[in-house]
């Protein structure tokens, strides 16, 4: 246990003898009952078996001693969780508890072991709740320190920990006269102390502790009618009650970090209290709270800041009027990685869309926030003598300052000193614009798996005139049609105040319907022509479109009928693979050496939510028995399901729309291509490693579809390099003529073999060395890696890295 035992008063020998009197006899008697109960194999609590009924008739002193004996047992030996019920059953009721009993129990718990069932906390909490305030006064420092330790403890199970904190906290509050319960806004996270410091005595005003206590008592995402009536009564009877709710929630938004479980429960109740307010400010605050609660740390994207709050807030926000709910939920739909929150966001958007007559895809489309930027992605505002400009450049938002029309470097000192609040608001807006850009890029790429069309006017206003969406849409190829049958592709081009689609021949494309171009619907000649055009125009598309891989159904997949084995039997670096799945919007349970942790199914919706792909993968057990982390996984089948109301029905691969099949398989190919151990340049020197055969065969295998597209991109890029004369592109390799040796780089894995004996060359990729070479897309890191390696090897006589030089000299 922790430092809280240091302030625990010592018991006199007389007090100890009084506490322990009859302990052995009572312990033997209760153990006899438990021995009989053990024949039930602990399938239920011992207190629920028939033999336990006799214990209720024991004299109070005997039950007291039995409870103390079981407390000693729970603190000094590993016991079944059911002992929690035994201690509670014995300790509850009108028993003659004394201060000495509590000190003895705390001393035993402090000197004993801490087990995750938390049974050692049950009796001290019960006794503390029974004692009079005068008997607790000198124990307050110890009890305070114990609570501080418990709220930071993530070993003890939630329910016994919460029960102990509740009862001991109530004892402290009775002894000290505190109005705000100790268990609320405690030190288990930074949020509790922050609110206490900011709100001070306002938290002790009449009615406020009762309001906060009631909010923290909400146990479910949906508040029962009785709970809602009571919160209405408390808000009406508490002066400034609504303002307290508002202030605490504003503090949570400003805090913007993960909450302790207890704080999460409190904020969830406050969200329900906020939902009782019909005004626009409440809707705006509810939207910001929802976004903050559903957000997650960058290093743990599947763990929201406040999951309980997020689940409840999503449902409440969807019931509000206005644009803020649509915008917030639409942004969360493409950014949230937690499965529980994501499913509720999708359901809320579908319900909201049905109420407003929109499809789910259209809801996401109409909800994109423009953040006050003009159609060119720019916002200018005056700050003192300076003009501040927020500008969307490429895929980022930037803040700059100018004075009298002259641009300045950095933030002027006067702005930092005199306009700190305005500067913080501008920087916050830049962050929000950046978040919208990230989400919109993902949403637009998702449209590639849909068969949607737009009237020309809607397409122009939603995609090209919009400052966020337009940052991407203006660099994508679109198709237009007059009859819905014949489609012609082109790039957006300004036409006065509007936009038109211009084809490869430089002429406008006629038609009143527009759709996003996908190479799967085009002939090979047209696809190649667009690749040439994109490169010649120096256009960097936000994601692969002209150079996008296409995956068509194979005869083998037609024979298997219900699944695809195309990417089965690969060995992936699991942590990297799991992270990449989440980045690409797939939801998957984490693999590990626990029940149910040996198999996982990653899923992602496609086709506007009408289809779902499932990618099965399994844990590769580690040969080291002392390692429990998941290092590698093996790949298995890809399957598809069709939405049927709220359920999913398995579908044969032959029934899956071509764009849905292609987009799903492209993601799986990405997982394999990026995280396979075959792409690890340091793997080849592992000698007798059990995966060496897989590494060797895969590192030099026939090219996958993504590698074939990479080869085509290289064929177009290499002539632009100054070292083009030293390069030769073949079916699987890029051959490089150096000054010391010749090399061949595999276009799939990026691995390098050296002539004349095919010796492996290990080069760990470093910073990009492609210089100013224009790449038509930036979502294929292997392309940049291959180009960087080729540039370095063509001048191998200038290499200074000692590790590489030793390999060249062998």
Residue 226 has a pLDDT of: 96
Average pLDDT value over all residues in the chain: 88
406-408 sheet: strands from edge to edge: 378-383, 386-393, 396-403, 406-408
Q: What residues contact residue 270 under an 8 Å CB cut-off, 6+ apart?
A: 212, 215, 245, 248, 249
Instruction: Tell me the two tokens of residue 96.
Output: 């003659």
Summarised one tens digit per residue, pLDDT across range 635-679 is 999 999 998 877 899 999 999 999 999 999 999 999 998 888 887
Residue 32: Cβ-neighbour burial (10 angstroms; 0-12, 13-18, 19+)? exposed
Question: Does the predicted TM-score (pTM) go above 0.75?
Answer: no
Measured distance CA(735)–CA(499) in Å, rounded: 45
CB 517 within 8 A of CB 489: yes
What is the 8-class DSSP label of residue 498?
E
DSSP letters, 667-719, are HHHHHHHHHBGGG-TTGGG-TT-TTHHHHHHHHTSPP-HHHHHHHHHHHHHGG
When mean pLDDT is compared across 207-216, 311-320, 525-534, 676-685, the lowest value belongs to: 676-685
Instruction: Tell me the two tokens of residue 87.
Output: 């201690």
Residue 668 has a pLDDT of: 95
Measured distance CA(267)–CA(218) in Å, rounded: 10
Summarised one tens digit per residue, pLDDT across range 211-254 is 999 999 999 999 999 999 999 999 999 999 999 999 999 999 99
Query: Is the model more confident about 136 or about 596?
Result: 136
Count other C-beta atoms under 10 Å from residue 44's C-beta. 12
CB 462 within 8 A of CB 367: no
pLDDT tier, 589 (very low <50, low <70, confident <90, very high otherwise): confident
Instruction: List residues bridging with 346 in a β-sheet.
Output: none
CB 630 within 8 A of CB 588: no
Q: Where are the beta strands (DSSP E) in 740-800?
A: 742-746, 752-754, 759-761
Which residue in 487, 504, 475 sits closest to 451, CA to CA? 487
When mean pLDDT is compared across 114-118, 138-142, 479-483, 780-784, the lowest value belongs to: 114-118
Average the pLDDT over 589-606 and give the result: 89
Count other C-beta atoms under 10 Å from residue 741's C-beta. 17
Backbone angles phi, psi at 745, to 5 degrees: -110, 125
Measured distance CA(561)–CA(74) in Å, rounded: 57
**Rounded percentage of the chain residues whose pLDDT exceeds 70:** 94
**Cα angle, residue 49 at apex, residues 44 and 50 outer, rounded to 5°:** 165
Q: What residues contact residue 701 under an 8 Å CB cut-off, 6+ apart?
A: 678, 748
Measured distance CA(163)–CA(151) in Å, rounded: 11
Instruction: List residues bridging with 728 in a β-sheet.
Output: 735
Q: State the Cα torsion 40-46-50-52 to the nearest 10°.
A: 140
Summarised one tens digit per residue, pLDDT across range 305-362 is 999 999 999 999 999 988 889 889 988 887 888 888 988 998 888 888 888 888 778 8
Residue 463 has a pLDDT of: 94
Residue 592 has a pLDDT of: 86
Average the pLDDT over 365-369 and give the result: 85
Map residue 260 onto helix, strand or coil: coil
Instruction: Tell me the two tokens of residue 467.
Output: 């400052």
CB 794 within 8 A of CB 736: yes
Instruction: Tell me the two tokens of residue 556.
Output: 């083998």
Residue 110 has a pLDDT of: 87
pLDDT tier, 615 (very low <50, low <70, confident <90, very high otherwise): very high
Summarised one tens digit per residue, pLDDT across range 485-514 is 899 999 999 888 789 999 999 999 989 999
CA 507 to chain centre: 45
Q: State the Cα torsion 167-173-174-178 to the nearest 10°.
A: -160
CB 588 within 8 A of CB 578: yes
SS (HEC) of 656-674: CCHHHHHHHHHHHHHHHHH
pLDDT tier, 79 (very low <50, low <70, confident <90, very high otherwise): low
Q: In 3-state terms, the chain is what percent helix, strand and coil (to 5)?
A: 55, 15, 35
Measured distance CA(754)–CA(758) in Å, rounded: 5
Measured distance CA(247)–CA(211) in Å, rounded: 14
Residue 687 has a pLDDT of: 47
DSSP H/E element including 349: helix 339-356
- Asked if omega into 627 is within 30° of 0 (cis), the reply is no
CB 742 within 8 A of CB 735: yes
Summarised one tens digit per residue, pLDDT across range 725-777 is 999 999 889 999 999 999 999 888 888 888 887 777 888 765 554 555 667 77
Residue 354 has a pLDDT of: 81
**Cα angle, residue 42 at apex, residues 36 and 44 outer, rounded to 5°:** 105
Task: Please determine, for residue 122, whether its predicted confidence score (pLDDT) is greater than 70.
Answer: yes
Residue 765 has a pLDDT of: 63
CB 147 within 8 A of CB 156: no
Which residue in 195, 129, 130, 125 sits closest to 160, CA to CA? 125
Measured distance CA(33)–CA(31) in Å, rounded: 5
687: left (phi over 0), alpha (psi -120 to 50) or beta: left
Measured distance CA(169)–CA(586) in Å, rounded: 43
Summarised one tens digit per residue, pLDDT across range 416-459 is 999 998 999 999 999 989 989 998 999 999 999 998 999 999 99
Place of tokens 């005056």: 382
Measured distance CA(24)–CA(456) in Å, rounded: 87
Helices (H), 367-410: none
Instruction: Tell me the two tokens of residue 144.
Output: 């305070």
């Amino acid at each position: 246990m922790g430092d809280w035992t240091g302030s625990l008063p010592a018991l006199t020998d007389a007090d100890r003898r009084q506490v322990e009197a009859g302990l052995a006899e009572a312990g033997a008697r209760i153990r006899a009952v438990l021995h009989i109960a053990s024949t039930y194999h602990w399938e239920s609590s011992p207190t629920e078996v028939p033999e336990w009924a006799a214990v209720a008739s024991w004299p109070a002193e005997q039950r007291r001693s039995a409870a103390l004996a079981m407390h000693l047992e729970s603190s000094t030996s590993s016991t079944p969780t059911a002992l929690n019920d035994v201690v509670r059953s014995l300790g509850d009721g009108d028993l003659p508890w004394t201060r000495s009993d509590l000190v003895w129990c705390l001393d035993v718990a402090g000197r004993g072991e801490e087990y995750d069932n938390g049974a050692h906390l049950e009796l001290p909490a019960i006794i503390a709740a029974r004692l009079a305030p005068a008997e607790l006064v000198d124990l307050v420092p110890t009890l305070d320190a114990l609570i501080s330790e418990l709220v930071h403890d993530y070993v003890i199970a939630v329910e016994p920990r919460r029960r102990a904190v509740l009862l001991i906290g109530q004892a402290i509050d009775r002894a000290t006269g505190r109005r705000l319960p100790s268990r609320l806004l405690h030190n288990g996270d930074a949020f509790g102390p922050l609110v206490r410091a900011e709100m001070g005595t306002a938290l002790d005003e009449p009615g406020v502790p009762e309001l906060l206590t009631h909010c923290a008592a909400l146990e479910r995402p949906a508040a029962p009618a009785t709970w809602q009536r009571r919160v209405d009564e408390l808000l009406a009877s508490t002066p400034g009650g609504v303002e307290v709710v508002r202030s605490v929630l504003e503090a949570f938004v400003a805090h913007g970090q993960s909450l302790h479980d207890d704080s999460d429960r409190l904020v969830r109740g406050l969200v329900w209290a906020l939902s009782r307010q019909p005004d626009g400010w409440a809707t705006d605050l509810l939207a910001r709270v929802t976004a903050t609660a559903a957000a997650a740390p960058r290093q743990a994207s599947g763990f929201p800041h406040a999951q309980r709050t997020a689940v409840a807030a999503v449902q409440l926000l969807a019931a509000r009027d206005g644009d803020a709910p649509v915008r917030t939920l639409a942004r969360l739909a493409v950014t949230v990685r937690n499965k529980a929150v994501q499913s509720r966001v999708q359901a809320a958007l579908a319900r909201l869309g049905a109420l407003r007559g929109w499809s789910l895809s259209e809801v996401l489309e109409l909800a994109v926030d423009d953040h006050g930027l003009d159609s060119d992605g720019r916002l200018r505002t005056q700050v003192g003598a300076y003009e501040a400009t927020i500008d969307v450049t490429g895929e980022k938002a930037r803040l700059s300052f100018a004075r009298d029309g002259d641009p300045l470097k950095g933030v002027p000192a006067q702005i930092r000193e005199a306009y700190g609040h305005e500067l913080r608001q501008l920087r916050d807006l830049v962050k929000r614009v950046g978040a919208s850009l990230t989400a919109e890029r993902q949403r637009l790429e998702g449209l590639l798996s849909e068969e949607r069309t737009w009237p020309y006017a809607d397409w122009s206003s939603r995609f090209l005139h919009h400052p966020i969406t337009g940052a991407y849409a203006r660099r994508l190829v679109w198709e237009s049609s007059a009859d819905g049958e014949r489609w012609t592709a082109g790039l957006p081009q300004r036409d006065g105040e509007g936009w038109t689609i211009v084809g490869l021949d430089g002429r406008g494309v006629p038609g009143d319907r527009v759709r996003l171009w996908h190479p799967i619907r085009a002939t090979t000649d047209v696809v190649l022509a667009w690749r040439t055009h994109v490169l010649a125009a120096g256009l960097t598309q936000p994601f692969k479109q002209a150079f996008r891989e296409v995956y068509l159904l194979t005869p083998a997949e037609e024979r298997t009928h219900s699944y695809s084995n195309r990417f089965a039997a690969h060995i992936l670096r699991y942590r990297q693979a799991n992270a990449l799945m989440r980045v690409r919007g797939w939801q998957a349970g984490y693999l590990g050496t626990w029940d149910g942790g040996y198999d996982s199914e990653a899923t992602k919706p496609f086709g506007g939510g009408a289809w779902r792909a499932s990618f099965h993968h399994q844990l590769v057990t580690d040969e080291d028995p002392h390692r429990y982390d998941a290092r590698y996984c093996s790949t298995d089948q890809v399957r598809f399901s069709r939405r049927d109301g709220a359920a999913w029905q398995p579908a044969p691969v032959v029934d899956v729309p071509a764009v849905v099949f292609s987009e799903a398989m492209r993601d799986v190919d990405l997982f394999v291509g990026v995280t396979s151990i075959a792409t690890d340049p340091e793997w080849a020197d592992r000698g007798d490693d059990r995966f060496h055969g897989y590494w060797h065969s895969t590192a030099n295998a026939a090219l996958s579809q993504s590698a074939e597209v990479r080869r085509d991109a290289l064929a177009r890029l290499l002539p632009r390099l100054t070292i083009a004369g030293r390069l030769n592109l073949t079916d699987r390799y890029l051959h490089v003529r150096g000054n010391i040796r010749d090399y061949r780089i595999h276009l799939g894995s990026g691995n390098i073999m050296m002539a004349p004996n095919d010796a492996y060359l290990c080069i760990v990729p470093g910073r990009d060395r492609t210089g100013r070479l224009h790449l038509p897309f930036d979502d294929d890191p292997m392309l940049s890696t291959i180009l960087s390696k080729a540039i370095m090897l063509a001048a191998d006589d200038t290499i200074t890295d000692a590790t590489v030089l030793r390999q060249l000299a062998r």
